[in-house]
Amino acid sequence: MNKKVIVFTVIILVAILISIGIFLHTKKSPSENSTTHNLEEFSIASGVVPHHLVARGIIENFFQYISSKRKPQNIILLGPDHFNATNLAGKSFISVDSDTKEFHSLAVNNYLLQKLNNHDLAFDSSTVNFDHGITALLPYIKKYFPESGILPIIISSTASKEDVGKLIKTINIYAGSQTIIIASVDFSHYLPPKAADFHDVKSIATLLNFKENDFENLEVDSWQALYGARFFAKLQGEEFPYIVGQGKSSDLLRFDDSIIDAEGITSYFCVVFEKTNNQKTIEKGETILLVGDIMLDRGVESLIKKNSVIYPFQKISQFLRGIDIVFGNLEGPIVKEPQNFSFDSLKFNFSHQAADGLSWANFNLLSLANNHTLDRGENGLKETKQFLKEKNIDFVGNPLKCTEDYSFKKDDIILLAFNKTFSFGCSDEEIINTINLIKSSNPKNFLIVSVHWGEEYQEKNSISQRELAHKIIEAGADTIVGHHSHIVQNIEIYKSKPIFYSLGNFVFDQYFSKETQEGLAVGIEVYNNRIRYCLFPFKSHQSQPSLMDQKETNQFLKELALKSSPELLDKIKDGIIDIERSK
């Protein structure tokens, strides 16, 4: 063979081998900016996206992100039942008619639809077509995934976790590996912006950490859809979250205060769950809401009898949802046979139905460390605990004792409660000893100390309160919250720890002054490296608390700031106190 031919042939072979090597190397090591990815390496199991078109930028980014990673064969779209159609159908789920081939020019996965036939599913294309939780997202699916098969499913607000779990398990079996479940969900509704932000902390942490038992108490328009998408990610083993976006309607539309007061806002959170960890730092927190005195006798009892057991909480119930711990001071015992104390009596007792109302309002922790818990003696205290247990409401503290036996602990949070209104009750020394003991054995836990103390109707704390408060902080408490004065008192910062001397009344029948019909709810967001305190003033009319509007809130917080620690002036006015967490 001619040498030139041989050399040329060798050159061609080498060039081919080099090209193959470059190709294989490129396949194994795609550049960071490349939008072409290996499907197995970058697989996405599910995602959560809003359906309000106010958030169209977030929606667009969501579908762009999925498109850059993967072209799914099947898209299961889970949405809330905005018009209660499932109730009319008597089913937990509604999808398109069983013989539907296309829906909005997208192919329907009839095979999977038939497999779901035994899952309490109704077939009604017109109902699905009418619900914007589904239809708002279809143009984006057509734009980015026109060849994918879809299956839209509307979920009843009464569907159980077990119902949704069975549905998702069946989808997991029959849908195939190239399937994405998308939950079409908007988050907090009809609340002021700061309240929505506070609620979203729990919703996001529950979703990202897959806290299975917490989904049902989330402040979202379909916790069932969230649970379904997240459960599918777990079954697929693709649980790393990538947050695509977050926002509020008030920011996107630039609402003024009058619109917020009238309608509240809607918040949005958008995330995908994938196999690869592409987002290293995601801050997740726990939430606590603290309110003051809850008294359900006398005038409040009369209003409950005229209306219903949930009457006191009807105007603020949504605000009390979607929080890890909702705490209040229960100002009296719950007993089987309440005595009919006179209206001018300073003794209280509540019907056993009071526990139903408190449970409906999402209270899950109540202090028994006050001067009215023993108004029906030790037996009344025993009955109170029993009724609360039956409603899965925890309790903390004792009206006379102050040992660690009466503490409450959940995850990284500990709460102690003490009664200082009796001269023969807990001494300051006993309280400090208990705090020292708790803190020494739980040095990294966040410790809240609740104290029933002080003088009634006084706007500021007494000298003895301040002295005890400082000792409590020095012993290891991270936050002090007080009650008993029936009006909101000042906030002090001591050694970088806040002292809320009194939160005032939450539910009471003291209609004789403006101050006794105002209160402060303190929302606490607990993170690894910081603590955020959110201040939510409310007003009460006929024993029904409701959040103040923005103008009232601004005035209330301004007055509170002026009587509190000077270094907190601007923070209290803004309604947010941020403090770095001690290491």
pLDDT tens per residue across span 201-222: 999 999 999 999 999 999 999 9
Pick the CATH number of 44-274 from 3.40.830.10, 3.40.50.720, 3.40.50.970, 3.30.60.50: 3.40.830.10
Q: Phi and psi at residue 372, in whole multiples of 5°?
A: -115, -10
**Cα gap 178→196, rounded to integer Å:** 35
Q: What is the pLDDT of residue 171?
A: 97
Report, as an integer, the average pLDDT of 311-336: 98
Q: Which residues lie below 8 Å from residue 29, measured CB to CB, with a gap of 6+? A: none
**Cα gap 436→475, rounded to integer Å:** 5
CA nearest neighbour of 318 among 256, 360, 290, 356: 360
**Contact status, residue 44 vs residue 177, Cβ threshold 8 Å:** no
Residue 480: which H helix or E strand, with range? strand 479-483
Lookup result for tokens 């912006």: 193
Report, as an integer, the average pLDDT of 294-311: 98
Q: Which residues lie below 8 Å from residue 282, measured CB to CB, with a gap of 6+? A: 208, 241, 243
Give pLDDT tens digits for 339-373.
999 888 999 999 999 999 999 999 999 999 999 99
Query: Is the pLDDT score of 320 beyond 60?
Result: yes
Residue 65: which H helix or E strand, with range? helix 56-69
> Residue 15 — pLDDT band, cuts 50, 70, 90?
very low
Encode burial over 488-523: b for 16+ CB neighbours within 10 A, e otherwise: bbbbbbeeebbbbbbbbbbbbbbeeeebbbbbbbbb
Query: Is the pLDDT score of 20 beyond 60?
Result: no
Pick the CATH number of 286-580 from 3.30.70, 1.10.3930, 3.60.21, 1.20.120: 3.60.21
Tokens at residue 574, please? 């803004």
Q: What is the pLDDT of residue 256?
A: 76
SS (H, E, C) 299-347: HHHHHHHHCCCCHHHCCCCCCCCCCCEEEEEECCCEECCCCCCCCCCCC
**Contact status, residue 501 vs residue 461, Cβ threshold 8 Å:** yes
Higher pLDDT, residue 34 or 105: 105
Number of helices followed by number of strands (H, E) in the chain? 19, 27
CA nearest neighbour of 532 among 251, 190, 269, 197: 197
**Cα gap 400→436, rounded to integer Å:** 19
Query: Is the pLDDT score of 116 beyond 90?
Result: yes
Q: What is the pLDDT of residue 204?
A: 97
Please tell me what DSSP assigns to residue 460: S
Query: Is the pLDDT score of 383 beyond 70?
Result: yes
CA nearest neighbour of 106 among 49, 149, 161: 149
- pTM metric for this prediction: 0.91
**Cα gap 573→560, rounded to integer Å:** 8
CA nearest neighbour of 482 among 490, 494, 473: 490
Tokens at residue 535, please? 């201040």
Q: Which residues lie below 8 Å from residue 358, measured CB to CB, with a gap of 6+? A: 294, 330, 366, 388, 391, 393
**Contact status, residue 217 vs residue 321, Cβ threshold 8 Å:** yes
Give CATH 3.40.830.10 domain extents, the chain. 44-274
Report, as an integer, the average pLDDT of 96-117: 95
Q: What is the pLDDT of residue 278?
A: 82
| Rounded to 5°, angle at Cα 228 from 224 and 232 | 170
Give CATH 3.60.21 domain extents, the chain. 286-580
Q: Phi and psi at residue 182, in whole multiples of 5°?
A: -115, 120
> Residue 531 — pLDDT band, cuts 50, 70, 90?
very high
In whole angstroms, how far apart are CA 493 and each of 371, 496, 497, 498?
27, 6, 5, 5
Tokens at residue 559, please? 């007055």
Q: What is the pLDDT of residue 22?
A: 29
Give pLDDT tens digits for 156-180.
999 999 999 999 999 999 998 899 9
Query: Is the pLDDT score of 281 beyond 80?
Result: no
Report, as an integer, the average pLDDT of 557-577: 98
Report, as an integer, the average pLDDT of 47-61: 97
Q: What is the pLDDT of residue 122?
A: 97
Higher pLDDT, residue 240 or 21: 240
Q: What is the pLDDT of residue 583?
A: 64
Report, as an integer, the average pLDDT of 481-494: 98
Percent of the chain with pLDDT over 90: 86
Type of residue numbered 3:
K
**Cα gap 264→269, rounded to integer Å:** 17
Report, as an integer, the average pLDDT of 270-292: 92
Tokens at residue 428, please? 């300051």
Encode burial over 445-479: b for 16+ CB neighbours within 10 A, e otherwise: bbbbbbbbbbeeeeebbeeebeebbbebbebbbbb
For the chain, the average pLDDT equals 92
Q: Is 428 helix (H, G, I), strand (E, B) or coil?
A: helix
DSSP assignment string, 91-126? SSEEES-TT--EETTEEB-HHHHHHTTTTTEEE-HH
Type of residue numbered 8:
F
**Contact status, residue 20 vs residue 215, Cβ threshold 8 Å:** no
Q: What is the pLDDT of residue 202?
A: 98
**Contact status, residue 351 vs residue 339, Cβ threshold 8 Å:** no
Q: Which residues lie below 8 Å from residue 582, measured CB to CB, with a gap of 6+? A: 478, 496
In whole angstroms, how far apart are CA 67 and each of 60, 226, 497?
11, 21, 47
Other Cβ atoms less than 10 A from the Cβ of 162: the count is 8
Please tell me what DSSP assigns to residue 152: E
Helices 223-236, 193-209: crossing angle, 10 deg rounding: 30
